[in-house]
Amino acid sequence: MDYPGNLFVVAAPSGAGKSSLVKALMELDSRVQPSVSHTTRAPRGQEKHGREYFFVSQQEFDGMVLAEAFVEWAHVHGQRYGTSKKAIEDRIVQGADVILEIDFQGALQIKKVFANAVLIFILPPSWEELRSRLERRGEDSAEVIELRLRNAALEMAQAREFDFVIINELFERALFDLKAIVHAQRLKFAAQRRARADTFQALNIT
Ligand SMILES: Nc1ncnc2c1ncn2[C@@H]1O[C@H](COP(=O)(O)OP(=O)(O)OP(=O)(O)O)[C@@H](O)[C@H]1O
Ligand SMILES: Nc1nc2c(ncn2[C@@H]2O[C@H](COP(=O)(O)O)[C@@H](O)[C@H]2O)c(=O)[nH]1
C-alpha cells in the first residue's frame, strides 16, 4: 500500500539510547511524529498514560488483539507491547512521517505490512556501556536490568535484517546519522511518488 507519509521504525536493545535519539530528532524535525504504543507494563517514574504509552491491563490488551486493533504486537521483557493501527494509519494517510520505537519482532512485522517502512537499528558501542547506561538511567531494578541485558544478545543478532544500523557512541554523531537517514529516505520516497504520478498521468492511468 502507498501513503503520502513515511514510516520509520527504530529498534535497539534496551538502554542503547533509542528514546533519547528519537526525542532529539523530533525536536529538530517537526515533520516526524511519534506513535504511542500500548503496553501491559506499569508506568515508570514520570511516565503518563497516553504520552509515553497507553498503559492497559492484560484483559484490555487481549481485547485489542481479538479486535485486530494492532498492526503489530510482541512479548518483550516479559510484557506485551503493540502499535495500534489508529496510532499510525490516519497520520501517514495525511502525509505525516511517523516514527515507531519498537522491538525487532515488531519491526519485522511492520515491514511485512508496510514494505516501504525504513528499519533503523541502534547499537551501543559495547556491552559495558550498555550495562552502564541502564544502571545510570536508574529506572529499572537490578533483576529487570539483567533480563534486558540477557535479551539484548538476541535483539542485536537481528541488526543485519535492518535497512540501517547506527552506533550510538557519541550522541550528537548518532543523532546526525539518524537525521541524515530520515532526510535522505524522505527525499527518495518523494521522488519515487512524483515519478509514479508523472508516469500514471502520461499513460492516462486513473
Ligand atoms: N550516546 C550516549 N552516551 C551516553 N549516554 C547515552 C547516550 N545515548 C543515550 N544515553 C543514556 O542512556 C540511557 C538509556 O537511553 P534511552 O532511555 O534513550 O534508551 P532506550 O534504548 O530507549 O531504552 P528502552 O528500550 O529501555 O526504553 C539514558 O539515561 C540516556 O540518557
Ligand atoms: N513490538 C513492540 N515493541 C515495543 C513497542 N513499544 C515499545 N516496544 C519495545 O519494548 C521494549 C521495552 O520498552 P520500555 O519502554 O519498557 O523500556 C523496547 O525495546 C521498546 O522498543 C511496541 O508497540 N511494539
Tell me, yes or no, if the pTM score tops 0.90: yes
| Known binding residues | 12-19
pLDDT of 1: 56
Q: What is the mean pLDDT of residues 121-127?
A: 98
Q: What is the mean pLDDT of residues 88-106?
A: 93
Map out the domains of the chain as residue ranges: 7-35+96-202
Q: Which ligand is nearest to the CA of 21?
A: 1
Interval between CA 198 and ligand 2 midpoint (Å): 40
Cβ 137 under 6 angstroms from ligand 2 = no
Q: What is the mean pLDDT of residues 67-96?
A: 93
Interval between CA 190 and ligand 2 midpoint (Å): 29
The DSSP line for the chain is ---SS-EEEEE--TTSSHHHHHHHHHHH-TTEEE-PEEESSPP-TT--BTTTEEE--HHHHHHHHHTT-EEEEEEETTEEEEEEHHHHHHHHHTT-EEEEE--HHHHHHHHHH-TTPEEEEEE-S-HHHHHHHHHHHT-S-HHHHHHHHHHHHHHHTTGGGSSEEEE-SSHHHHHHHHHHHHHHHHHHHHHHHHHHHHHHHHTT--
ipTM score: 0.96
Q: What is the CATH number assigned to the segment(s) 7-35+96-202?
A: 3.40.50.300
Cβ 91 under 6 angstroms from ligand 1 = no
